[in-house]
Chains A and B, each alone.
Chain A
Amino acid sequence: MSPMPQPRGGKMSPPSNLYTAILAVAFGVVLATSAYVAVACQMRYGTIFGMP
């Protein structure tokens, strides 16, 4: 099954990558935030997951 919906009536439209880009942006933001939090925890407490 294709992820792209099949045009009804036989009218064809080119596939759009806009939402993929939006998801990439969201993924990047989440990744950057996680990295920042990990770095901050490492710098402040010397560990990322455990208690200092």
Chain B
Amino acid sequence: MSTLTKVLIVLLTVFSIFLCGIVVTYVSNANNEKETASDLRRSLQSAKAKQDSAETQLEEANKAAEALKAELNAKISDLDTRNKELVAQIDDVKRQNSMLMGENQQQRALATQANELATKQHDLAKAAQAQVVALQAEQSNRRKELDETDQMLLERMAVISELEGKVRRLTEENQDVEARLNQYLQQYGRIAAKAPVTVAPRPTTLQPVSAATVAAPSRMIALNGQVTAVDIKNRLAEISIGAAAGVRQEMKFHIIRGDRWVADMLILEVGPDKAVGIVETVQPGMEPRAGDVVATNL
């Protein structure tokens, strides 16, 4: 055996052992591709099943989503309708609110006006009370003046009565003197120049003047009014002035139409602002009627 053969044998042996070691190592460490493939197949089948189930669930979910979408759309439409109704109600409420605000302002203005009116009325009431007080004071003064006037009138009436007595005495003396003068003139054959004047007898006694009869000298007070009603049958007439104007019972008024005297009337009853009297003397051919003027003095 040659040396080259020996060397080749050794090298062949070494490389065979080396190659066998590598192959064994590789085969022992290699994966089991069949199991891997079967695992992958199972995984694929399970994945397909999962896909199918997922697709089924997806369809169900889509159906549910569509149903939910439809329901939500219905709810949305209902909510839109309700929202529109609420918006309309809000508009109505705003309108009512504005109307109520306007009414409130009007009521406030009315309340303010009422307060102002109340204040004015209060002021007017105060002024009226002051006027009433002043009028009462003036009335008391007038009463005092009236009492004084009555007193003076009584005194004057007494003086007039005395003067009338004096006049009557002087007239009687004058008649006596004229009678004597006529006698003297007849004695001397002359005719009396004047007829003897006869003086009507007058009561010389002074009658007491009562408060009611104080109205008799009312000629001094000029009262004017109008005839408001006439009762021809009962000869009664009503005039437009009363106690407030100074009319008293038994006061005498002249009824005048234009510039003509119609009748006289005597007051029987006196009211605050009217009086009723009886028509005494009537101008022939004329009768008093409503609208005629009544006055104490012609």
Please measure, in the bound complex, the distance between the C-alpha atom of A52 and the C-alpha atom of B32, giving whole angstroms.
Answer: 11
Chain A CB within 8 A of B193 CB: no
Tell me, rounded to whole Å, the shortest Cβ–Cβ distance linking A33 to chain B: 4
Q: Is the pair B13, A25 in contact by a Cβ cutoff of 8 Å? A: yes
Residues A44 and B1 in contact, CB atoms below 8 Å apart:
no
CA distance A36 to B5 in the complex (A): 30
Residues on the A chain within 8 Å of B10, using CB: 19, 22
**Interface class of chain A by DSSP:** helix
Q: Is the CB of A33 within 8 A of B24?
A: yes
Q: Is B34 an interface residue (CB 8 A)?
A: yes
Contact A22/B13 with A5-B1, A5-B2, A44-B34 known, Cβ cut-off 8 Å? yes
Number of residues in A with C-beta < 8 Å to the partner?
A: 20
- Selecting from B15-23, B71-79, B102-110, B198-206, the interface stretch reads B15-23
Residues of B within 8 A of A (CB-CB), count: 20
A23 / chain B contacts, CB cutoff of 8 Å? 9, 12-13
Once A4-B1, A30-B16, A52-B34 are accepted as A-B contacts, the answer to whether A22 and B9 lie under 8 Å apart by CB is yes
Measured CA separation A9–B34 after assembly (Å):
66
Q: Does B195 contact A (CB under 8 A)?
A: no
* A36 & B27 in contact (Cβ 8 Å cutoff): yes
Roughly how many angstroms separate A32 CA and B20 CA in the complex, as a whole number?
9
Q: In the bound complex, what is the Cα–Cα distance between A11 and B13 (angstroms)?
A: 31
Decide if A40 is an interface residue (CB 8 Å cutoff).
yes
Q: Which residues of A contact B34 (CB under 8 A)?
A: 44-46, 52
Q: Do A30 and B9 form a contact, CB below 8 Å, given A5-B1, A36-B27, A37-B27?
A: no
Give the distance in Å from the alpha carbon of A19 to the alpha carbon of B19 in the complex: 20
Note all chain B residues with C-beta closer than 8 A to A16. Answer: 1
**Are B16 and A29 interface neighbours, CB within 8 A?**
yes
Indicate if A3 sits at the interface (CB-CB under 8 A): yes
- Is B2 in contact with A30, judged by CB distance below 8 angstroms? no
Q: Can you name the residue of chain B whose Cβ is closest to the Cβ of A24?
A: B13
- Is there a chain A Cβ closer than 8 Å to B190's Cβ? no
Known: A26-B16, A44-B33. 12 other contacts (CB 8 A): A5-B1, A16-B1, A19-B1, A19-B5, A19-B10, A23-B9, A30-B20, A33-B23, A36-B24, A45-B34, A46-B34, A52-B37
- A interface residue numbers (CB < 8 A to B): 3-5, 16, 19, 22-23, 25-26, 29-30, 32-33, 36-37, 40, 44-46, 52
Report the 4 A-B pairs with minimum CB-CB distance, sorted nearest first: A33-B20, A26-B13, A26-B16, A19-B9
- A selection of 13 A-B contacts at a CB cut-off of 8 Å is A16-B1, A19-B1, A19-B5, A22-B9, A22-B10, A26-B12, A29-B16, A29-B17, A29-B20, A30-B20, A33-B20, A44-B34, A45-B34
